[in-house]
Protein backbone atom coordinates (compact mmCIF):
# COMPACT_ATOMS: atom_id res chain seq x y z
CA UNK A 1 0.00 0.00 0.00
CA UNK A 2 1.38 3.41 -0.97
CA UNK A 3 2.41 5.70 1.85
CA UNK A 4 0.51 8.91 2.56
CA UNK A 5 1.93 12.44 2.73
CA UNK A 6 0.36 15.75 3.68
CA UNK A 7 0.53 18.68 1.24
CA UNK A 8 -1.18 22.01 1.87
CA UNK A 9 -4.33 20.74 3.51
CA UNK A 10 -4.67 17.34 1.85
CA UNK A 11 -3.54 13.80 2.64
CA UNK A 12 -2.31 12.30 -0.63
CA UNK A 13 -0.35 9.22 -1.83
CA UNK A 14 3.39 9.85 -2.16
CA UNK A 15 3.09 9.64 -5.96
CA UNK A 16 0.70 12.62 -5.89
CA UNK A 17 2.63 14.72 -3.36
CA UNK A 18 3.74 17.77 -5.36
CA UNK A 19 4.55 21.46 -4.90
CA UNK A 20 5.02 24.21 -7.48
CA UNK A 21 8.34 24.71 -9.27
CA UNK A 22 7.98 28.33 -8.14
CA UNK A 23 7.94 27.36 -4.47
CA UNK A 24 10.51 29.48 -2.63
CA UNK A 25 11.69 26.44 -0.70
CA UNK A 26 12.78 24.92 -4.01
CA UNK A 27 14.16 28.14 -5.52
CA UNK A 28 15.81 29.78 -2.49
CA UNK A 29 15.77 27.25 0.38
CA UNK A 30 13.42 29.82 1.92
CA UNK A 31 11.93 27.52 4.53
CA UNK A 32 12.19 25.70 7.83
CA UNK A 33 11.95 22.02 8.70
CA UNK A 34 11.62 19.72 11.70
CA UNK A 35 12.01 15.97 12.20
CA UNK A 36 10.30 14.27 15.12
CA UNK A 37 10.90 10.67 16.14
CA UNK A 38 8.10 8.14 16.48
CA UNK A 39 8.54 5.35 19.01
CA UNK A 40 5.88 2.66 19.40
CA UNK A 41 3.41 4.83 17.51
CA UNK A 42 3.96 7.98 19.58
CA UNK A 43 5.68 11.28 18.78
CA UNK A 44 8.77 11.82 20.94
CA UNK A 45 9.66 15.17 22.53
CA UNK A 46 7.35 16.82 20.02
CA UNK A 47 6.62 19.89 22.13
CA UNK A 48 10.31 20.82 21.85
CA UNK A 49 10.29 20.32 18.09
CA UNK A 50 7.19 22.48 17.66
CA UNK A 51 8.64 25.18 19.92
CA UNK A 52 11.82 25.20 17.83
CA UNK A 53 9.71 25.34 14.65
CA UNK A 54 7.89 28.40 16.00
CA UNK A 55 11.18 30.10 16.88
CA UNK A 56 12.81 29.30 13.52
CA UNK A 57 9.91 30.62 11.40
CA UNK A 58 9.83 33.73 13.58
CA UNK A 59 13.52 34.36 12.91
CA UNK A 60 12.88 34.50 9.14
CA UNK A 61 9.52 36.31 9.36
CA UNK A 62 7.57 33.33 8.03
CA UNK A 63 4.01 32.79 9.25
CA UNK A 64 2.87 29.24 9.89
CA UNK A 65 -0.19 28.32 7.81
CA UNK A 66 -1.61 26.27 10.70
CA UNK A 67 -1.51 26.49 14.48
CA UNK A 68 0.98 24.33 16.36
CA UNK A 69 -1.96 22.35 17.75
CA UNK A 70 -3.25 21.62 14.25
CA UNK A 71 0.24 20.70 13.05
CA UNK A 72 0.52 18.10 15.80
CA UNK A 73 -2.92 16.75 14.85
CA UNK A 74 -1.70 16.33 11.27
CA UNK A 75 1.48 14.61 12.45
CA UNK A 76 -0.56 12.13 14.49
CA UNK A 77 -2.95 11.49 11.62
CA UNK A 78 -0.01 10.80 9.30
CA UNK A 79 1.39 8.31 11.81
CA UNK A 80 -2.00 6.58 11.95
CA UNK A 81 -2.63 6.62 8.18
CA UNK A 82 0.80 5.10 7.53
CA UNK A 83 0.56 2.59 10.37
CA UNK A 84 3.92 3.89 11.56
CA UNK A 85 5.26 2.14 14.64
CA UNK A 86 8.87 3.34 14.72
CA UNK A 87 10.37 6.05 12.55
CA UNK A 88 10.23 9.74 11.80
CA UNK A 89 7.80 12.48 10.79
CA UNK A 90 9.35 15.12 8.53
CA UNK A 91 7.76 18.57 8.36
CA UNK A 92 8.66 21.48 6.09
CA UNK A 93 7.16 24.95 5.79
CA UNK A 94 8.26 27.38 3.06
CA UNK A 95 7.29 30.92 2.11
CA UNK A 96 5.15 29.45 -0.66
CA UNK A 97 4.95 29.76 -4.43
CA UNK A 98 5.14 33.21 -6.02
CA UNK A 99 4.63 33.88 -9.73
CA UNK A 100 8.31 34.08 -10.57
CA UNK A 101 11.77 34.16 -9.03
CA UNK A 102 12.42 37.35 -7.09
CA UNK A 103 14.68 37.41 -4.01
CA UNK A 104 12.65 39.71 -1.70
CA UNK A 105 9.61 38.33 0.11
CA UNK A 106 6.52 38.13 -2.12
CA UNK A 107 4.43 41.30 -2.13
CA UNK A 108 1.26 39.46 -3.07
CA UNK A 109 -0.77 37.34 -0.67
CA UNK A 110 1.25 34.13 -1.05
CA UNK A 111 0.26 31.32 1.32
CA UNK A 112 3.09 29.33 2.93
CA UNK A 113 3.58 25.73 1.82
CA UNK A 114 3.28 23.00 4.46
CA UNK A 115 4.29 19.43 3.69
CA UNK A 116 4.82 16.38 5.90
CA UNK A 117 5.69 12.74 5.38
CA UNK A 118 6.81 9.74 7.43
CA UNK A 119 9.63 7.22 7.16
CA UNK A 120 10.30 3.99 9.00
CA UNK A 121 13.34 3.54 11.25
CA UNK A 122 13.93 1.22 14.18
CA UNK A 123 15.96 3.62 16.33
CA UNK A 124 15.91 1.42 19.43
CA UNK A 125 17.34 -1.70 17.77
CA UNK A 126 19.84 -0.07 15.42
CA UNK A 127 23.05 -2.20 15.48
CA UNK A 128 25.19 0.93 15.79
CA UNK A 129 23.59 1.62 19.17
CA UNK A 130 25.75 -1.23 20.51
CA UNK A 131 28.83 -0.94 18.29
CA UNK A 132 29.08 2.85 18.13
CA UNK A 133 30.09 4.86 15.08
CA UNK A 134 33.23 6.42 13.66
CA UNK A 135 33.19 10.13 12.85
CA UNK A 136 35.40 12.23 10.60
CA UNK A 137 36.15 15.92 10.97
CA UNK A 138 35.48 18.47 8.23
CA UNK A 139 35.62 22.29 8.05
CA UNK A 140 32.39 24.00 9.07
CA UNK A 141 31.49 26.05 6.00
CA UNK A 142 27.92 26.96 6.97
CA UNK A 143 26.29 30.37 7.37
CA UNK A 144 26.27 32.26 10.67
CA UNK A 145 22.68 31.51 11.76
CA UNK A 146 22.88 27.79 12.41
CA UNK A 147 20.42 28.19 15.27
CA UNK A 148 17.69 28.48 12.60
CA UNK A 149 16.61 25.06 11.30
CA UNK A 150 16.78 26.11 7.67
CA UNK A 151 16.23 23.78 4.72
CA UNK A 152 19.48 25.17 3.24
CA UNK A 153 21.53 22.05 3.98
CA UNK A 154 24.11 21.82 1.19
CA UNK A 155 27.06 22.19 3.57
CA UNK A 156 25.66 19.37 5.71
CA UNK A 157 25.04 17.24 2.62
CA UNK A 158 28.70 17.61 1.64
CA UNK A 159 29.84 16.83 5.19
CA UNK A 160 27.61 13.74 5.42
CA UNK A 161 28.74 12.57 1.96
CA UNK A 162 32.37 12.90 3.03
CA UNK A 163 31.55 10.77 6.06
CA UNK A 164 29.77 8.16 3.94
CA UNK A 165 32.68 8.03 1.50
CA UNK A 166 35.05 7.44 4.43
CA UNK A 167 32.85 4.69 5.88
CA UNK A 168 32.00 6.85 8.89
CA UNK A 169 28.62 7.36 10.54
CA UNK A 170 28.82 11.12 10.99
CA UNK A 171 30.95 14.21 10.31
CA UNK A 172 31.95 16.59 13.10
CA UNK A 173 32.35 20.12 11.79
CA UNK A 174 35.29 22.27 12.91
CA UNK A 175 35.46 26.06 13.17
CA UNK A 176 38.32 28.04 14.73
CA UNK A 177 39.81 24.79 15.98
CA UNK A 178 36.66 23.81 17.90
CA UNK A 179 33.94 21.27 17.17
CA UNK A 180 30.60 22.94 16.49
CA UNK A 181 28.31 19.92 15.91
CA UNK A 182 27.65 16.97 13.65
CA UNK A 183 26.18 17.10 10.16
CA UNK A 184 22.79 16.17 11.62
CA UNK A 185 23.49 15.79 15.34
CA UNK A 186 24.79 17.43 18.50
CA UNK A 187 28.27 16.47 19.72
CA UNK A 188 29.29 15.42 23.23
CA UNK A 189 32.41 14.17 24.99
CA UNK A 190 32.88 12.73 28.48
CA UNK A 191 36.16 13.69 30.13
CA UNK A 192 38.40 11.37 32.13
CA UNK A 193 36.81 12.73 35.32
CA UNK A 194 33.28 12.02 34.03
CA UNK A 195 32.25 15.54 33.04
CA UNK A 196 29.81 15.61 30.11
CA UNK A 197 30.82 18.42 27.73
CA UNK A 198 28.75 19.82 24.86
CA UNK A 199 28.90 23.09 22.95
CA UNK A 200 26.82 25.89 24.45
CA UNK A 201 23.79 27.07 22.48
CA UNK A 202 24.27 30.11 20.28
CA UNK A 203 24.21 31.09 16.63
CA UNK A 204 27.03 28.60 15.97
CA UNK A 205 24.89 25.48 16.46
CA UNK A 206 21.33 24.26 16.18
CA UNK A 207 19.68 24.01 19.62
CA UNK A 208 19.08 20.27 19.46
CA UNK A 209 15.84 19.02 21.01
CA UNK A 210 17.34 15.65 21.96
CA UNK A 211 20.45 17.47 23.20
CA UNK A 212 18.27 19.64 25.44
CA UNK A 213 16.44 16.65 26.87
CA UNK A 214 19.63 14.64 27.49
CA UNK A 215 21.31 17.56 29.27
CA UNK A 216 18.25 18.00 31.50
CA UNK A 217 18.00 14.28 32.25
CA UNK A 218 21.71 14.14 33.11
CA UNK A 219 21.45 17.17 35.40
CA UNK A 220 18.47 15.61 37.20
CA UNK A 221 20.70 12.65 38.02
CA UNK A 222 23.49 14.89 39.34
CA UNK A 223 25.81 14.15 36.43
CA UNK A 224 28.24 16.99 35.78
CA UNK A 225 27.63 19.05 32.64
CA UNK A 226 29.81 21.71 31.03
CA UNK A 227 28.36 23.63 28.10
CA UNK A 228 31.38 24.97 26.21
CA UNK A 229 33.34 24.51 23.02
CA UNK A 230 35.90 21.70 22.85
CA UNK A 231 38.68 20.72 20.46
CA UNK A 232 39.35 17.52 18.54
CA UNK A 233 42.35 16.93 20.81
CA UNK A 234 40.06 17.08 23.84
CA UNK A 235 37.68 14.66 22.18
CA UNK A 236 40.50 12.21 21.42
CA UNK A 237 41.65 12.43 25.04
CA UNK A 238 38.12 11.84 26.34
CA UNK A 239 36.88 8.72 28.06
CA UNK A 240 33.75 8.57 25.89
CA UNK A 241 32.02 10.53 23.12
CA UNK A 242 28.53 10.48 21.68
CA UNK A 243 26.01 12.29 19.52
CA UNK A 244 22.33 13.03 20.00
CA UNK A 245 19.52 13.62 17.51
CA UNK A 246 15.88 12.69 16.94
CA UNK A 247 16.99 10.03 14.46
CA UNK A 248 19.47 8.21 16.76
CA UNK A 249 18.54 9.35 20.30
CA UNK A 250 21.95 8.82 21.97
CA UNK A 251 24.66 7.22 19.83
CA UNK A 252 28.18 6.34 20.97
CA UNK A 253 31.21 7.60 19.03
CA UNK A 254 34.11 5.13 19.19
CA UNK A 255 36.64 6.73 16.81
CA UNK A 256 37.44 10.17 15.37
CA UNK A 257 39.37 10.36 12.09
CA UNK A 258 40.42 6.74 12.61
CA UNK A 259 41.67 7.30 16.17
CA UNK A 260 40.01 5.43 19.03
CA UNK A 261 38.04 7.28 21.67
CA UNK A 262 38.72 5.63 25.02
CA UNK A 263 38.90 1.89 24.51
CA UNK A 264 37.17 2.10 21.13
CA UNK A 265 33.85 0.87 22.48
CA UNK A 266 30.60 2.52 23.55
CA UNK A 267 31.15 3.57 27.16
CA UNK A 268 28.98 2.93 30.23
CA UNK A 269 27.91 6.55 30.73
CA UNK A 270 26.82 6.80 27.09
CA UNK A 271 24.94 3.53 27.44
CA UNK A 272 23.21 4.77 30.57
CA UNK A 273 22.26 8.09 28.99
CA UNK A 274 20.71 6.21 26.08
CA UNK A 275 18.72 4.05 28.50
CA UNK A 276 17.56 7.13 30.40
CA UNK A 277 16.50 8.90 27.21
CA UNK A 278 14.56 5.86 25.95
CA UNK A 279 12.79 5.64 29.31
CA UNK A 280 11.92 9.34 29.01
CA UNK A 281 10.70 8.86 25.42
CA UNK A 282 8.41 5.96 26.32
CA UNK A 283 7.01 7.82 29.31
CA UNK A 284 6.32 11.12 27.55
CA UNK A 285 5.45 10.23 23.91
CA UNK A 286 2.17 11.60 22.56
- Report pLDDT digits (tens) over 33-60: 999 999 999 999 999 999 999 999 999 9
Instruction: Identify the pLDDT of residue 108.
Output: 79
Q: What is the mean pLDDT of residues 142-166?
A: 98
**What's the rounded Cα separation, in Å, for the pair 158 and 156?**
5
- Choosing from 149, 160, 216, 260, the catalytic residue is 149
Instruction: Identify the pLDDT of residue 1.
Output: 82
Instruction: Identify the pLDDT of residue 197.
Output: 98
Quick one: CA torsion of 38, 246, 262, 170, rounded to 10 degrees?
120
pLDDT band of residue 238 (cuts 50, 70, 90) is: very high
- Does the pLDDT of residue 8 top 90, yes or no? yes
Instruction: Identify the pLDDT of residue 184.
Output: 98
Domain range summary for the chain, segments of one domain joined by +: 4-120, 128-284
Instruction: Identify the pLDDT of residue 109.
Output: 86
What dotted CATH number matches 4-120?
3.30.470.10
Multiple choice CATH, 128-284, 3.40.50.300, 3.20.10.10, 3.40.50.970, 1.10.8.80: 3.20.10.10
pLDDT band of residue 28 (cuts 50, 70, 90) is: very high
**What's the rounded Cα separation, in Å, for the pair 57 and 280?**
28
Residue 178 among the catalytic residues: no
Q: What is the mean pLDDT of residues 216-233?
A: 97
Instruction: Identify the pLDDT of residue 179.
Output: 98
pLDDT band of residue 246 (cuts 50, 70, 90) is: very high
Please write the tens of the pLDDT for every residue from 102-148. 999 998 789 999 999 999 999 999 999 999 999 999 999 999 999 99
pLDDT band of residue 84 (cuts 50, 70, 90) is: very high
pLDDT band of residue 274 (cuts 50, 70, 90) is: very high
Domains 4-120 and 128-284 share a fold: no
Mean pLDDT of the chain: 97
Tell me how many degrees the CA angle 65-67-73 measures, rounded to the nearest 5: 110
**What's the rounded Cα separation, in Å, for the pair 148 and 95?**
15
Instruction: Identify the pLDDT of residue 107.
Output: 84
Amino acid sequence: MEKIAYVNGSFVPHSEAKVSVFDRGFLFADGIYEVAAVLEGKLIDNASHLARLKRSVGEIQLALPETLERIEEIQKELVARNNLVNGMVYLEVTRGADKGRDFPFPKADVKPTLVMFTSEKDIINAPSAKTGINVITVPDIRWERRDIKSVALLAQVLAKQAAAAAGAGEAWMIEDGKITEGGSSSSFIITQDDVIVTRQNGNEILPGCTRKAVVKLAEERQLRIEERAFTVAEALAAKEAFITSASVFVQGVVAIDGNKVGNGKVGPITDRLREIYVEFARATGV
